[in-house]
Structure 1
Amino acid sequence: MNIERIWVLLAKRKSGEATDEELAELNDLLHREAGNTENEIVEKIWNAPLQPLNEIKPEDLWNKIERSTGKTVAKPFDAGRISTWLAAAAVVTAVIAGVFLLGPKKENSVAFSQNITTQPASKKHLVLPDGTNVWLNGNSALSYNDRVFGERYREVNLTGEAFFDVTKDAAHPFIIHASSINITVKGTAFNVKAFPGQKNVETSLVRGLVEITTRQDPERKILLRPNEKISVSAEKEPVKQAENKTEQPLFIITKLHTDEKDVLPETVWMNSSLAFDNESLEQLAPKLESWFSVTLHVDENMKEAHFTGTITKETLQQTLDAMKLSSPFGYEIKNNEVWIHK
């Protein structure tokens, strides 16, 4: 839980001392917390009139929390060394910590947190409480708080790759937090790819309309239309090129294209098998990337090599070894990246 950090940033915003980076971080934290209840209480308490600071005795509050919980509360700040607003934040942070972190936990509290994971090379289909269908790719995780899911928003957190077919509900926007982006929809079908270590976070829209905001530029709203794909940098800041020192674009939008079998490479991983017939490695690479949840780097002199085969339960290494029999090549695998060379 980031309640303590949220209070620090709220205090800096209130006093006008927050930098642009800290304001962006605050916005990100308030939207990324799995449970909204704590954030709503934070906002309400913060905006309510506070007792004058000189009448507040932080030691009394800390001692009271320690007596009621039977646990020692770490004092997050030295009120004598920071500004008035930060001192107030320190006091209330202790209260929040006592209520949410140290208070007695209900026996059924675990039931409020839903975490669904998949093993590498496996897939899972699930239906959320609102009827939304989700297909989770291998080595991925989806989590949400079913206590507040659907009250105001339908929020989930994604690590890895998933295809969403979202139930329409204009009154309760569906929000996905994935790496450096937040995706807001009301009813649509799209694929999201956000594996750890991935340079870009990708969203491919099949139908409907989605709104995307980024961690790097949270105030900017990007609309994605059907048959479009957006790739957003997963870096906290836009990467600068070494030669001319100019910034690379934060995001790139391209059109989706199906293959000769009318299949989108971005969603081919959802099928039970992947078949390819005399396809060049350049054509095949996007399909292999989606199927195995990796990023392929193919040398120019290998892009026109053609392959035929069918993948069902084979691993990435088994697949590459089989492909080498028809057109020899070398490869290197490191985490989720693969380099293929002559």
Structure 2
Amino acid sequence: MEEAEQRYELITKELTSEIPEGEKIFPDKEISENIELRQKKAMLQYFWFNYFPKPLPNQIIKKTEKKLGFSNAKCTIGISTIYKTAAAVLLVVSLGYIGYQHSKPKNNVILNEYVTLPGEVKEFILSDGTKVWLNSKTVLIAAEPFIEENREVLLIGGGYFEVAHDAGKPFIIKSSSLKTTVLGTHLDVSAYPGDIKTEVSLYEGKVEIADKDLPENKMVMKPGQKVSFSNDEKNFYVKSNELEIPAEWREGILRFYDEDLNSIAQKLERKFSTRIFITDDQVGKLRFTASFDTEPLDKILKLLREAHEFKIEKTTNGIIIKTVKNNI
């Protein structure tokens, strides 16, 4: 591992609490004298504090455990998973930045960030004419204009792309788990931190998707296919998207096709900027097909509950969904 990558990994560990509190990865003097190091740390701090949860004090963790009925071990595992995911994404951001810094030409290339806030959807046009719609709580990073052999962007979240055709310059979308290579096409990519899967839906054109860690684990998609990539199992699951309307979320529409409640809860969290806790595995596996437009969160949950029975409890920390226990 190069020295620059080692520095990024150390900064990431500090931000994700993998280094004991009170210990410093770099002496204050080195930080103050090294401008590049200060910039690197500031960049990662920006992503951490804007897009990932802040460390919770022990007393808040204990209160949440009690409210949710979790054991200490289960709660600790959950929080650890959050930070491991965050660490992985931070490293993707940092290593992407390293590549940009090492290869950037002397022309006026700018590292642009396109950002949407919770509950917000925006359309952007990149320097090559590619149109991008970013879903709620998403970051897209691109070194523009695209003057290298490839047009590379980094996606943290969800986006719909209408890629400008350029046979000589493939358009590459990098996320924490997948590398998606296209020439000119319409596709929808969902790659949010913390999700158990990365999804790609192809509507026009042809793309290749590959596991970021195992490039030989790859497949070529055809129009009408939706691929779910299991971030843990490293497997591709293919189904048809021919009944779907491309990226309806651009119009504020939420549509679920045979999705489990765990996945639905993650999308509702992003749209309504709240926390939803599911305390029972069986409830989380309940599957739904539904469509919502302007309905508020309360109504959506009540309508879902009409299809499959579960209990909804509101707390100051968010919404808890649990099994309905029959009194005998």
When normalised by structure 2's length, the TM-score is 0.55
1:129 equivalent to 2:127? Answer yes
Question: What's the CA shift string for 1:139-174, capped at 9, x where partnerless?
Answer: 111111115x24321111101111111011011110
Provide closer, same or farther for how the CA distance between residues 313 and 211 of structure 1 changes in structure 2, counting only shifts above 3 A: same
Q: What is the match of residue 4 of structure 1?
A: 4
The structure whose Rg is larger is 1
Q: What is the match of residue 114 of structure 1?
A: 112
Given the alignment, which residue of 96, 116, 138 partners 1:33?
96
| Matches of 1:161 and 1:332, distance apart in 2 | 29
Alignment of 1:103-252 (within 5 A): 112-147=110-145, 149-235=146-232, 238=233, 250-252=234-236
| Per-residue deviation, 1:195 | 0.8
Provide closer, same or farther for how the CA distance between residues 168 and 320 of structure 1 changes in structure 2, counting only shifts above 3 A: same
Corresponding residue pairs, total: 232
Q: What is the match of residue 21 of structure 1?
A: none
| Matches of 1:144 and 1:166, distance apart in 2 | 14
| Matches of 2:306 and 2:129, distance apart in 1 | 46
Q: 1:138 is paired with a residue of what secondary structure? A: coil
Q: 1:151 is paired with a residue of what secondary structure? A: coil
Q: 5+ residue gaps in structure 2?
A: 8-87
Q: What is the match of residue 237 of structure 2?
A: 253
Q: What is the match of residue 312 of structure 1?
A: 294
Over the aligned positions, Cα root-mean-square deviation in angstroms equals 4.6
Alignment check: 8 A CA contact 2:258 2:287 kept? yes
When normalised by structure 1's length, the TM-score is 0.53
Q: What is the match of residue 310 of structure 2?
A: 329
Q: 2:190 is paired with a residue of what secondary structure? A: strand
% identical equivalent positions: 27
Provide closer, same or farther for how the CA distance between residues 204 and 325 of structure 1 changes in structure 2, counting only shifts above 3 A: closer
| Per-residue deviation, 1:313 | 6.7
Alignment of 1:245-284 (within 5 A): 250-258=234-242, 262-264=243-245, 267-274=247-254, 282=258
Q: 5+ residue gaps in structure 1?
A: 8-24, 42-105, 239-249
Alignment check: 8 A CA contact 1:268 1:287 kept? no
One-letter amino acid of the counterpart of residue 142, structure 2: Y
Alignment check: 8 A CA contact 2:312 2:319 kept? no
| Matches of 1:333 and 1:178, distance apart in 2 | 34
